[in-house]
């Protein structure tokens, strides 16, 4: 198995949407809610994990909507997610960002962030969204 990481392309959105449909308790965000930037981890040239990166005009960016292929059966899913997060960190460092922020409620993903030396707030917060124009 050969793992590599690359930048997100427009075609990757449909792949992520298919994965969201297959994971229980996940709902795909609207297409226009997602940024065009992100990272994709591939195993043997096949996408197996995707993360979306919101770039801002401050020194902070957001890593969000991290998802992996629910049919991926290798026992190294943890390695994929770690590669995705560290790859995203490296990508935005090169763009001049100082901080990376993420919102998360999945225990395994939170544990992975902790392992990678992210600060995890002890008090949960809530995700708030308002649709301004329909």
Residues 43-90: pLDDT tens digits?
Answer: 999 999 999 999 999 999 999 999 999 999 877 888 999 999 999 999
Per-residue pLDDT, 88: 97
pTM to 2 decimals?
A: 0.91
**CATH T-level fold of 3-115:** Aminopeptidase (3.40.630)
Query: What token pair was written down for 12?
Result: 């990757």
**Are the CB atoms for 68 and 40 separated by under 8 Å?**
no
Mean pLDDT along residues 3-10: 95
* Domain definitions of the chain by residue range: 3-115
Query: What token pair was written down for 76?
Result: 């190294």
């Amino acid at each position: 198995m050969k793992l590599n990481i690359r930048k997100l392309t427009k075609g990757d959105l449909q792949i992520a949407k298919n994965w969201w449909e297959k994971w229980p308790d996940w709902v795909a965000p609207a297409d226009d809610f997602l940024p065009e930037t992100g990272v994709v981890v591939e195993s043997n040239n096949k996408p197996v994990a995707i993360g979306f990166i919101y770039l801002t005009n401050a020194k902070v960016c957001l890593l969000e909507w991290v998802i992996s292929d629910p049919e991926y059966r290798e026992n190294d899913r943890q390695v994929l997610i770690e590669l995705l997060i560290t790859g995203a960190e490296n990508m935005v460092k090169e763009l001049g960002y100082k901080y990376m922020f993420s919102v998360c409620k999945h225990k395994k993903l939170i544990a992975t962030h902790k392992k990678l030396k992210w600060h995890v707030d002890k008090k949960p917060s809530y995700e708030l969204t308002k649709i301004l124009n329909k």
